[in-house]
């Protein structure tokens, strides 16, 4: 079976056409696996120079209230490779920035566009946009969730380890949007996850509760602890993020002191499986959340992970906008 036939067979299995992509909790294990299989197929086709343009003639609006490198470039390149066009909007380019109701903006731009990707602060804003937009809305990042990043992460883990189910991922650092989406994604896919964070910076209780319900179905194990050593023990994947996310710059100095014991360094990774891989959603602060010898060492897959933002997001766009 050639690559084009593989895509046809994949599309017959599951249809996500017209769906919003806001949170991994909204999708079944089978639907997420379909997106991962599609991403792998699209990556192979790109490497072999085989065009695939299911979004020919379609346009996606990209709203950025938070600046970005990987999100903007990967989405803009991705929709172009799928045959469509991306339109960039900063907060200054839309009337949302001047107080227009999100519901009005959603209904107006949906008359022009075929899909919307938004990267913003409050998750409620994305939910409201999706509520009023009759076209698919993709969550490029909010303060609560980062589902597109986790799809790229899972694609990378499968490439490196051959599977997700039964592996252990250890996340060490701030219980932020990355920890939330990793919790939900691992629980859905049957992957064990441990999170180590200081008291006061743990993942949100409602997200942990949601993940635990999914874990009961998939059989994955969840551990929330304040001990980095306990979290990393036997891990196949070690993951971290910056200690102060965008919008938390005023807390940087305080957070550096609180999170200092949570740095991923050569001493900590000795507690992991000897074939562990290191991941980071980037941008990284070397010398803070991770030492240079780990992030630039032989176990690091951060640039494969960053590349897979392109392929994973192409799969999402093709599936919901195609």
Strands (E), the chain: 59-64, 85-90, 115-119, 137-141, 168-172, 192-196, 222-225, 237-240, 277-280
Q: Is 181 annotated as a binding residue?
A: no
Q: Is 281 annotated as a binding residue?
A: yes
- 249, two tokens: 């710059």
Is 309 a known active-site residue?
A: yes
Is 311 a known active-site residue?
A: no
Q: Is 142 annotated as a binding residue?
A: no
Q: Is 136 annotated as a binding residue?
A: no
Given the residues 180, 255, 309, 311, select the one marked as catalytic. Answer: 309
Is 111 a known active-site residue?
A: no
Given the residues 143, 180, 241, 255, select the one marked as catalytic. Answer: 241
Place of tokens 């990774």: 269
Q: Is 148 annotated as a binding residue?
A: yes
Q: Is 309 annotated as a binding residue?
A: yes
Is 123 a known active-site residue?
A: no
Given the residues 19, 33, 114, 119, select the one marked as catalytic. Answer: 119
User: What would the DSSP string read from start to end of 218-257?
Assistant: H---EEEES-HHHHHTT-SEEEE--SS-TT-GGGHHHHHH
- The candidate with the shortest Cα–Cα distance to 172, out of 97, 57, 259, is 259
Q: Is 92 annotated as a binding residue?
A: no
**Integer-rounded Cα radius of gyration of the chain:** 19
User: What is the chain's length?
Assistant: 322
Q: Is 279 annotated as a binding residue?
A: no
Q: Is 186 annotated as a binding residue?
A: no
As a whole number of Å, the end-to-end CA separation of the chain is 22
Contact present, 235 and 278 (Cβ < 8 Å): no
3-class DSSP assignment, residue 55: coil
Q: Is 68 annotated as a binding residue?
A: yes
CA 78/CA 62 separation, integer angstroms: 12
Q: Is 23 annotated as a binding residue?
A: no
Given the residues 19, 23, 37, 146, select the one marked as catalytic. Answer: 146
Q: Is 245 annotated as a binding residue?
A: yes
Binding residues: 68-71, 95, 119, 146-149, 177, 241, 245-246, 281-282, 309
Active site positions, annotated = 119, 146, 149, 241, 281, 309
Binding residues for carbamoyl phosphate: 68-71, 95, 119, 146-149, 281-282, 309
Binding residues for L-ornithine: 177, 241, 245-246
């Amino acid at each position: 079976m050639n690559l084009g036939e593989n895509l046809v067979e994949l599309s017959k299995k599951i249809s996500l056409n017209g769906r919003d992509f806001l949170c991994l909790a909204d999708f079944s294990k089978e639907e997420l696996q379909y997106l991962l299989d599609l991403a792998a197929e699209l990556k192979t086709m790109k490497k072999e120079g085989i065009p695939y343009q299911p979004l020919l003639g379609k346009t996606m609006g990209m709203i950025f209230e938070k600046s970005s490198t990987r999100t903007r470039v990967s989405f803009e390149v991705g929709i172009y490779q799928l045959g469509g066009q991306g339109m960039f909007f900063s907060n200054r380019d839309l009337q949302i920035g001047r107080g227009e109701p999100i519901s009005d903006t959603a209904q107006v731009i949906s008359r022009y566009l075929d899909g919307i990707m938004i990267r913003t602060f409050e998750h409620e804003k994305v939910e409201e946009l999706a509520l009023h937009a009759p076209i698919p809305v993709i969550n490029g990042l909010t303060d609560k969730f980062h589902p597109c990043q986790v799809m790229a992460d899972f694609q990378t883990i499968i490439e490196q380890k051959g599977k997700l189910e039964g592996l252990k991922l250890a996340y060490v650092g701030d219980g932020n949007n990355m920890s939330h989406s990793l919790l939900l994604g691992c629980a859905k896919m049957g992957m064990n996850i441990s999170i180590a964070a200081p008291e006061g910076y743990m993942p949100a209780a409602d997200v942990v509760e949601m993940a635990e319900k999914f874990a009961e179905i998939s059989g994955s194990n969840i551990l929330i602890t304040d001990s980095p050593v306990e979290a990393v023990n036997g891990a196949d994947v070690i993951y971290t993020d910056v200690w102060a996310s965008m919008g938390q710059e005023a807390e940087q100095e305080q957070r550096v002191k609180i999170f200092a014991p949570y740095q991923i360094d050569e001493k900590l990774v000795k507690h992991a499986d000897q074939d562990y891989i290191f991941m980071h959603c980037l941008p990284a602060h070397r010398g803070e959340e991770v030492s240079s010898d780990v992030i630039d060492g032989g176990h690091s897959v951060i640039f494969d992970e960053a590349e897979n933002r392109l392929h994973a997001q192409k799969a999402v766009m093709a599936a919901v906008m195609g």
